């Protein structure tokens, strides 16, 4: 039996990341009890505004109307993500608001180059329940989650040397965060990638004085006052 199939007979162990910078969030791998809540976020038009391609399997209806995610769809998606985790090719995480225990989004690495790849890259993404986060006044939640996920990748995952982020050109919020908060410069032009904006930062760009880590932590520090 292939190694990945036998490994999945026993689910991979739960991973919980170290406390986030402000200790407001808990990032961990996903559990069956999360599936209904994640489906609800994936069915939220505001949360999915710039994620046109992320639809339930076979669920684009006539006229390009998105179908609804069911918890069973999320379960199937998580199974694929966990198979990829066993192979070192992905790491999907739930974002929990620690004080209340509410699942407020998902983050992690949808794609990672295999361990041992020179200059190994990991693609970081995030989807949050923007309506809930806004209503609660939870500022910079995304910054705290992405900071924790990046820190974990560079400190705990084998050979990861560069984090990449991909979003749509019209996603002003994510592009603004990437360029104004993290200080990133698009790696490719509109002419090269069309509607997609691609960013990246290396281990050195993360850790150097005044680099990405310092910029994110500076933003989070301002929330303490």
Is the pLDDT at 5 greater than 80? The verdict is no
pLDDT tens for residues 17-30?
A: 999 999 999 999 99
How many whole angstroms separate alpha carbon 181 and alpha carbon 218? 9
Least confident of 112-116, 124-128, 131-135, 167-171: 167-171
* Local structure of residue 181 (DSSP, 8 states): I
For range 116-121, the mean pLDDT: 96
pTM reported for the whole predicted model: 0.90
The percentage of the chain sitting over the pLDDT mark of 70, rounded to a whole number, equals 88
How many whole angstroms separate alpha carbon 79 and alpha carbon 11? 9
How many whole angstroms separate alpha carbon 23 and alpha carbon 112? 26
Domain ranges of the chain: 3-224
Is the pLDDT at 177 greater than 60? The verdict is yes
Q: Which fold has domain 3-224?
A: Aminopeptidase (3.40.630)
CA triple 130-107-89, angle to 5 deg? 155
Coil, strand or helix at 217: helix
For range 60-71, the mean pLDDT: 66
pLDDT tens for residues 196-211?
A: 889 999 999 999 999 9
Give pLDDT, residue 3: 43
């Amino acid at each position: 039996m292939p190694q990945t199939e036998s490994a999945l007979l026993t689910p991979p162990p739960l991973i919980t990341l170290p406390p986030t910078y402000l200790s407001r969030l808990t990032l961990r791998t996903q559990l069956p009890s999360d599936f209904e809540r994640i489906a609800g976020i994936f069915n939220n038009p505001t949360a999915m505004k710039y994620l046109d391609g992320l639809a339930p399997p076979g669920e684009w209806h006539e006229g390009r109307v998105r179908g609804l995610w069911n918890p069973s769809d999320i379960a199937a998606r998580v199974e694929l993500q966990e198979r990829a985790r066993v192979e070192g090719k992905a790491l999907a995480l739930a974002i929990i608001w620690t004080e209340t225990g509410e699942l407020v989004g998902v983050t992690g690495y949808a794609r990672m180059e295999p361990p041992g790849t020179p200059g190994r890259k990991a693609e970081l993404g995030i989807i949050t329940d923007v309506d809930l986060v806004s209503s609660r006044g939870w500022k910079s939640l995304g910054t705290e989650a992405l900071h924790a996920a990046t820190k974990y990748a560079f400190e705990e995952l084998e050979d990861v040397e560069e984090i990449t982020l991909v979003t749509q050109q019209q996603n002003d919020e994510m592009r603004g965060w990437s360029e104004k908060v993290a200080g990133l410069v698009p790696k490719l032009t509109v002419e090269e990638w069309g509607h997609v904006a691609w960013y990246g930062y290396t281990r050195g760009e993360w850790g150097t004085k005044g680099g990405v880590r310092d910029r994110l932590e500076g933003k989070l520090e301002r929330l303490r006052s």
